[in-house]
Structure 1
Amino acid sequence: MPSALITGITGQDGSYLAELLLEKGYDVHGMVRRASTEKFDRLEHLRDRITFHQADLLDQRSLVDALRAAKPDEVYNLAAMSFVAVSWIQPTLTAEFTGVGVTRMLEAVRETCPEARFYQASSSEMFGKVLETPQTERTPFYPRSPYGVAKVYGHHITVNYRESYDLFATSGILFNHESPRRGLEFVTRKITWHAAAIKHGRRDKLQLGNLDARRDWGYAKDYVEAMWLMLQHDRPDDFVIATGEMHTVRDCVQVAFDEVGLEWERYVEIDDSLKRPAEVDLLVGDAGKAKQLLGWEPTTNFEQLIRLMARADLDLLAK
């Protein structure tokens, strides 16, 4: 039975990845931070099948202890300060978790289990003010947020450890990926939840920032399969994971409100305070390399995804 350790296992991607690995017969271990109120909502149906280890990306010793206990064949580093907007409010903490935390994790792997295969969750936010469209593995980075800058560091340090210490260290440059398990602070889930809440009479408006921002949105369940495929490949490499289709925030609003049977213009208000200090206007990825080398392709398109999320939020709020 292969074993895997997932950092950030309580998040959207971590929960889907845990499901996938359990289906494939893995012994799944999850790294969790100590908190006064533990949040296992996304893992409630899996909790008795996962071994949890308390550790923190800010504490090197705890990472070594967790890896020694888990003895993983694969390590998926998904933990980070994952919300871009907060990275302007807490830029130093974002750098510590999302950037330097990757180095601590790689050092711990190098010390305890250098034969393990390592996956780093890189991000399309690294491209920021894009220098070419679509973005590929060779597109230069131009991050436009403290989060993006920290992700660039995490990405490059992973490449550096791969080349310096011959670690099997791979980075997945994932474009936006969503699901009903997405946090409410993320724009897609904010939209689908509010559409459902307005339908149920629990809210009367939705405030948004930039409706014209364009993104490449995919389904998180598809994207965690790509993570797994990267670690089954015969050599470590970096892969863009994306749908290749671009949609605006406005498109997301239109689909979500259509799914719940409402006219969106009556309920959506623009709030300039919600706009980013430095906007990322468009992101769209070319996943041709992943298709060619890993055989990966997305199975859920944008409209299917937003309708799926809106229906899930209608059901959630109906309860």
Structure 2
Amino acid sequence: MTGQDGAYLARFLLEKGYHVLGAVRQTSAVNMSRLEELTISSEIELIGLDLLEFETIVRAVERIGAAEVYNLAAQSSVQSSFEQPLFVSDCSGMGAARILEALRIVNPAARFFQASTSAMFDNAGATSRNEASRFQPQTPYGVAKLFAHGMTVNYRQAYGLHASAGIMFSHESPLRSEEFVTRKITVGLARIKHGLLDVLELGNLDACRDWGYAPDYVEGMWQIVRSENADDYVLATGETHSVREFATLAGAALGFDLDFRGTGTAEHAFDLKSGRTIVRINPRLMRPVDLGSMRGNAEKARDLLGWKSKTAFAEMVTLMAEADERRVRDTRQ
């Protein structure tokens, strides 16, 4: 509930008139910042839940009796998944299986949504991926998510649960965690503009993603759950953009005119207005395995659900950059 998608989904469902309960990890400190930024923290009910403990999930399912269950929980940092492969496998993979089994036993009438990911696809061949494309994940995160996705399909087929998955390509927003490259860029450039950082260090500038806007995607989640028949759908924009493009647009939104020069690890971004180096490459930020350029084909979601990504890439980048500049400016006052 307290993550990017959880916060936006909670707001969306509240606007639809739902009574919304959100699961949070059973820790002493709960980060409410996203819910507070969306001004909905007082409108939802939080429940403690541990995806590693089946009994706590069963008890929660028994007590709540929810009509719809959205599993957005995961250890979602691809980089961190290389450092914690066992934990990400248990949390992101087995966690979904525990929820599905609890629903099968206690509340089989509930509709279930699994947040699947484009990281499940292979890294070769055609750049466009749809629901029939081959899965061959390249990261521990993708492997764990593929297991969760497969269990969702299995519980639908074997037990008749209304269990669906949204195979979502990257989706960003001002609520994205700063460990993701998109927020790292917008936060870093905002700090440079206000004199709090000298230079932004990035990894692979050529990495390309199909980046959409998170509020558009949570609406797709709801449409998938509300569809008459459970199924799996790709949610994507159908466009790809590089990290370099993202940084250039974010810089423009904050008043920089970035000119990328050099090649390889020597590449850097020079601001034509100030004459300063704003971005440089740090080889230590390169991933052990990086996905190539890949875009999603959301034709099925468009045709059967009427869903499409509404927010243009440049508009999303500008929204994120301006939000981070406001945050940086407010902390200095």
Partner of 1:122: 116
Partner of 1:30: 22
> Any conservation in 2 of the 1:162–1:169 contact (CA below 8 Å)?
yes
Alignment match of 1:92 (pick from 78, 86, 91): 86
**1:207-222 maps to which residues of 2 (within 5 A)?**
207-222=201-216
Secondary structure, aligned partner of 1:19: helix
Instruction: Work out whether 1:303 is the aligned partner of 2:295.
Output: no
Question: 1:178-236, CA deviations, whole angstroms, 9 ceiling, x for partnerless residues?
Answer: 00000000001110111111111111111111000111000000000000000111100
Partner of 1:14: 6
Instruction: Work out whether 1:157 is the aligned partner of 2:151.
Output: yes
Instruction: Work out whether 1:280 is the aligned partner of 2:274.
Output: no
Residue identity over aligned pairs, in percent, reads 48
> Any conservation in 1 of the 2:114–2:149 contact (CA below 8 Å)?
yes
**Contiguous gaps of at least 5 residues in structure 1:** 1-8
Output the amino acid matched with 2:308: E
Secondary structure, aligned partner of 1:22: helix
- With the length of structure 1 as denominator, give the TM-score of the two structures: 0.96
Partner of 1:260: 254
Dislocated runs of 4+, deviation >6 Å: none
C-alpha distance in 1 between matches for 2:313 and 2:136: 26
C-alpha distance in 2 between matches for 1:138 and 1:218: 21
Alignment match of 1:62 (pick from 48, 56, 75): 56
> Any conservation in 1 of the 2:25–2:49 contact (CA below 8 Å)?
yes
Secondary structure, aligned partner of 1:236: coil
> Any conservation in 2 of the 1:31–1:66 contact (CA below 8 Å)?
no
Output the amino acid matched with 1:61: E
Secondary structure, aligned partner of 1:68: helix
> Any conservation in 2 of the 1:191–1:256 contact (CA below 8 Å)?
yes
Instruction: Work out whether 1:50 is the aligned partner of 2:61.
Output: no
Secondary structure, aligned partner of 1:267: strand
Partner of 2:235: 241
Instruction: Work out whether 1:174 is the aligned partner of 2:168.
Output: yes
> Any conservation in 1 of the 2:122–2:134 contact (CA below 8 Å)?
no
1:157 deviates by 0.8
1:36 deviates by 2.7
Output the amino acid matched with 1:174: M
C-alpha distance in 2 between matches for 1:216 and 1:234: 28
1:128 deviates by 4.0
Instruction: Work out whether 1:270 is the aligned partner of 2:281.
Output: yes
1:130 deviates by 3.7
C-alpha distance in 1 between matches for 2:123 and 2:180: 20
C-alpha distance in 2 between matches for 1:103 and 1:291: 28
Question: 1:259-318, CA deviations, whole angstroms, 9 ceiling, x for partnerless residues?
Answer: 101133121111111111111111200000000000001110111000110000111111
Instruction: Work out whether 1:186 is the aligned partner of 2:180.
Output: yes
Question: 1:116-161, CA deviations, whole angstroms, 9 ceiling, x for partnerless residues?
Answer: 0000000001114143221000000121100011111111111011
The verdict on how the C-alpha distance between 1:81 and 1:19 changes in structure 2, with shifts beyond 3 A counting, is same
Out of 126-135 and 88-97, give the one that drifted further. Answer: 126-135
Output the amino acid matched with 1:279: D
Secondary structure, aligned partner of 1:49: coil
- With the length of structure 2 as denominator, give the TM-score of the two structures: 0.92
Instruction: Work out whether 1:144 is the aligned partner of 2:138.
Output: yes
**Contiguous gaps of at least 5 residues in structure 2:** 259-268, 270-276
**Equivalences, count:** 311
> Any conservation in 2 of the 1:144–1:280 contact (CA below 8 Å)?
yes
Out of 88-97 and 124-133, give the one that drifted further. Answer: 124-133
C-alpha distance in 2 between matches for 1:154 and 1:196: 37
Partner of 1:6: none
Secondary structure, aligned partner of 1:27: coil
C-alpha distance in 1 between matches for 2:10 and 2:62: 20
Alignment match of 1:71 (pick from 51, 65, 76): 65
> Any conservation in 2 of the 1:132–1:139 contact (CA below 8 Å)?
no
